[in-house]
Structure 1
Amino acid sequence: MPLHICFIHGKESGPWGNKGRLLSGIAHQLGYEYSALNYLTADNPDDPESRLQMLRTYLSETRIPEKELILTGSSMGGYIAARATQYHPAAGLFLMAPALGMENYPSQWPEMNARERFIIHGLFDGVIPWSHSNEAAQKTDTPIHLLADDHRLSDSLDIIEEDFRSFLNRVSQ
């Protein structure tokens, strides 16, 4: 089954940072479609609702079938990916240090409407407490991988690759 992986970058990164390049390479190697919107061009790039609207518009216009859609996001992008599944259910939701449980976000604990879900979070994250991801994982029966890394997860790209490949294998079955 052809999958379409849509990466949502974090607040202080861009679509072609380390994680974006990693996921893009995996997608292309496996013959999957890949997209990454540049949220730095959003009307208000610091506003999660502005980013969510941009993603919702993209998903509505492209009409990627639910059974093919993989949403993956990092930090604020993870939060946006989770929120997007409330409007566009997905086959998969792969979150890296997602900004869940943040008091200043409109919906702190969004539903995760995806058949397969996975969360990765660094134990030394000084931006978003790993306990937020752990709580979300418990509430939604989502597998979680806690790593000895910080918010950027830059020391764990090999582990992210392994987890993402395994995740895609489960989604494609």
Structure 2
Amino acid sequence: MRGHIILSHGSDSGPDATKVSALAATAESLGYTTHRPDYRADDLKGHAGSVAPRLARLAAAIAASPVPPVLVGSSMGAFVAGLASLDAPVAGLFLLALPAEIPGYPRPFATAPGVPSFLVHGYADDVCPVEGAIAFARGQGAPLLLVQDDHRLSATLADIDAEFRRFLGGLA
């Protein structure tokens, strides 16, 4: 086993969503073990209301990991992955369609200092404005891939997969 990866889906999605499924398959092909928590019940509480239960579910998955995991998250999954890195050791963060804030939730997005991170965001994202991802990446000095895509990032999945492979290779 090269490591462990926890992949967190976005709101209105599930653990079998296209992006997390594709990235899980890539990780497994490279020798990583993966886990995809199911946040659908948490998401019934609304965006702001789902953050705390998602964080608790993710914290339990991190605690059960045999090694500090790489956290992969899409949208709300990216938001909770970053916050979870503040409370538990993680090997890296690969974040897609990042919301810089969740309306009604008191904490802004943040990550633990020094954790290797990579962001991917679509220019045409109408759910999570690209400016928030750019500002976060700039403030952290984190690499950011901007793609001609929308919030779902389905048109650029091959590019995302290639960056994910490079990111994992850089952690080894």
Fold match, TM over 0.5? Answer: yes
Tell whether the 8 Å contact from 1:101 to 1:109 is kept in structure 2 after alignment: yes
- In structure 2, runs of 5+ residues without a counterpart are none
SS in structure 2 of the partner of residue 90 of structure 1: coil
Task: Please name the residue that 1:58 is paired with.
Answer: 61
Equivalences for residues 1-173 of structure 1 within 5 A? 2-42=2-42, 44-46=44-46, 47-60=50-63, 62-66=64-68, 69-113=69-113, 115-172=115-172
Tell whether the 8 Å contact from 2:4 to 2:65 is kept in structure 1 after alignment: no
Tell whether the 8 Å contact from 1:121 to 1:145 is kept in structure 2 after alignment: yes
Tell whether the 8 Å contact from 1:52 to 1:84 is kept in structure 2 after alignment: yes
If the length of structure 2 is used for normalisation, what is the TM-score?
0.91
- In structure 1, runs of 5+ residues without a counterpart are none
Q: Deviations over 1:74-99 (max 9, x none)?
A: 00000000000001121110000012
SS in structure 2 of the partner of residue 5 of structure 1: strand
Tell whether the 8 Å contact from 2:12 to 2:43 is kept in structure 1 after alignment: no
RMSD: 1.6
Percent identity, aligned pairs only?
Answer: 34
Q: Deviations over 1:109-143 (max 9, x none)?
A: 31344531000000000001011010110111100
Q: Rate the CA distance shift 1:100–1:2 in 2: closer, same or farther, 3 A.
A: same
If the length of structure 1 is used for normalisation, what is the TM-score?
0.91
Paired residues, number: 169
CA distance in 2, matches of 1:36, 1:114: 24
Tell whether the 8 Å contact from 1:5 to 1:27 is kept in structure 2 after alignment: yes
CA distance in 2, matches of 1:114, 1:22: 27
